[in-house]
């Protein structure tokens, strides 16, 4: 099989000192100085992968899984009017990003024959209003519920799932409800694995040895996408294309390492503590949401690998062009110069809307006569890059030739490798999320989970009419 080539392009000239000045832009000397460490980290990652580590790198090669998922989705798709994904964070954001990028923006409103699969709903936040509305909107008799959590320990996911399961039981009875539930979870252990084995749910595997936020190219992200008619084979092909492009340890030759170096140098040497990602396509906005979690949770670490306190991390912000030119760009161009801005452009949008009906007698609108909306959006992107550069605000642009499954796969792999390399350059572990655990444990305690009684006592104080929460730690 002939593998396709990577098609994303990266223009980083406006992030360099020559464009925005030495106080704000990365210099060639900085890149040269960092190049040996990039090469060393590349060698480390390669060696770890060779002995079975860095298993997320292997996900694009699992074409057998993609074929299994595709066959399952094609065999089951017509049985269901609605698909409900129950998951949060890495268990949902990748699927949402893929489906948003590759399907009609109003696919849930399309006739069944046109949308390529059941309507798609997500239960992520345990907001009772949204959960009740979702369960009241779907046709429970023809709804497939896909619950996604590796361990089954995620309180929000399990609570939402139990609510959905209860609704299914009431609508179709427990025996049939079991046939309408698919669990994506650990192959051997965990609460959801235990429940799935007990109830006989159909299961797919959350890949062992891969953090949740890196699982978009596994069953976690691909099963919902396949049910919505997305080309998951193309998704993996694009990821493989980017992986092939990222084999070099040379910082200027490897796009993921180049982006990692620019952002790490910007944060560590130039005071750019915020990274804004701003696509000029509504379809790609979900990818910025997915990347926001990836960047924040992977790199926001108090401790370095040697145990010293570093409080690392660049704050990721999502924006959307051109909407946020009328919301955020004023701040980005004239506010604190503490940001790097990544613009994402598209050479050819999948639809054309031409303006032919400009009214006569209003000369100030003549410039729109014969214009096309995609052209307008592209020129706004170029204009924004120019305005940012004029204001000495470092920015760089990633351009996609169009939006298709392979391009989405390229973005996923590019950003994952960028993040892992950035962790190496910052000397922090980009895997795990120790800062999240304290809040999780406190939630368990406040909800009365067994084994957390001592922590619950620390979090509550006696009060008339029942305990109340402490408002101040300590």
42 catalytic residue (yes or no): no
On whether the CB atoms of residues 26 and 394 are closer than 8 A, the answer is: yes
- How far apart CA 150 and CA 184 sit, in angstroms, is 7
Q: Which of 297, 381, 410, 416 is catalytic?
A: 297
249, 255 in Cβ contact below 8 A? Answer: no
Cis peptide before 322 (omega within 30 of 0): yes
Residue 326 annotated to the active site:
yes
Helix (H) or strand (E) holding 205: strand 202-205
Q: How far apart are CA 15 and CA 36, in angstroms?
A: 21
Residue bearing tokens 């994952």: 416
Residue closest to 308 by CA, chosen among 421, 423, 424, 428: 428
114, 129, 309, 326: the active-site residue: 326
**Hey, is 338 helix, strand or coil?**
coil
- Told to judge if 440 belongs to the known catalytic residues of this protein, a careful annotator would answer yes
Nearest Cα neighbor of 300 from 285, 308, 287, 311 is 311
Selecting among 49, 104, 130, 440, the annotated active-site residue is: 440
CB atoms within 10 A of CB 337: 18
d(CA 442, CA 8): 43
Length of the chain: 474
Catalytic residues: 297, 326, 440
């Amino acid at each position: 099989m002939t593998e396709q080539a990577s098609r994303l392009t990266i223009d980083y000239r406006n992030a360099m000192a020559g464009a925005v000045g030495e106080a704000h832009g990365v210099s060639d000397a900085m890149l040269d100085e960092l190049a040996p460490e990039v090469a060393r980290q590349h060698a480390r990652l390669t060696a770890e992968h060779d002995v079975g580590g860095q298993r997320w790198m292997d996900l694009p090669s699992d074409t057998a899984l993609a074929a299994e998922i595709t066959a399952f989705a094609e065999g089951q798709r017509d049985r269901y009017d609605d698909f409900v994904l129950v998951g949060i964070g890495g268990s949902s954001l990748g699927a949402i990003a893929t489906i948003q990028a590759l399907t009609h923006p109003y696919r849930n409103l399309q006739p069944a024959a046109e949308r390529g699969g059941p309507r798609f709903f997500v239960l992520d936040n345990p907001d009772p209003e949204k959960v009740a509305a979702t369960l009241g909107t779907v046709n429970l008799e023809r709804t497939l519920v896909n619950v996604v959590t590796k361990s089954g320990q995620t309180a929000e996911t399990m609570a939402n799932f139990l609510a959905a399961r209860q609704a299914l039981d009431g609508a179709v009875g427990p025996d049939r409800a079991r046939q309408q539930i698919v669990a994506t979870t650990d192959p051997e252990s965990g609460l959801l694995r235990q429940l799935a084995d007990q109830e006989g749910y159909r299961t797919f595997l959350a890949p062992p040895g891969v953090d949740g936020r890196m699982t978009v190219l596994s069953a976690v992200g691909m099963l919902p996408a396949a049910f919505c008619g997305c080309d998951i084979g193309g998704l993996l092909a694009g990821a493989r294309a980017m992986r092939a492009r990222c084999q070099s340890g040379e910082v200027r030759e490897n796009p993921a390492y180049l982006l990692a170096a620019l952002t790490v140098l910007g944060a560590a040497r130039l005071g750019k503590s915020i990274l804004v990602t701003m696509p000029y396509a509504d379809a790609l906005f979900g990818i910025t949401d997915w990347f926001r979690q990836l960047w924040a949770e992977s790199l926001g670490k108090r401790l370095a690998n040697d145990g010293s306190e570093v409080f690392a991390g660049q704050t990721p912000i999502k924006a959307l062009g051109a909407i946020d030119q009328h919301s955020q760009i004023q701040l980005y161009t004239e506010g604190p110069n503490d940001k790097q801005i990544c613009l994402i452009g598209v050479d050819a949008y999948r639809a054309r809307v031409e303006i032919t009906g400009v009214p006569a007698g209003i000369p100030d609108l003549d410039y729109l006569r014969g214009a096309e909306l995609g052209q307008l959006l592209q020129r706004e992107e170029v204009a924004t890059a120019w305005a940012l550069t004029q204001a000495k605000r470092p920015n760089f642009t990633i351009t996609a030739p169009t939006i298709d499954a392979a391009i989405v796969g390229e973005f996923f792999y590019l950003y994952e490798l960028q993040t892992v390399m950035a962790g190496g350059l910052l000397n922090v572990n980009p895997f795990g999320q120790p800062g999240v655990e304290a809040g999780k444990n406190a939630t368990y305690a406040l909800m009365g989970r067994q084994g957390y009684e001592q922590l619950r006592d620390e979090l509550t104080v006696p009060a008339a009419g029942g305990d109340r929460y402490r408002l101040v730690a300590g």
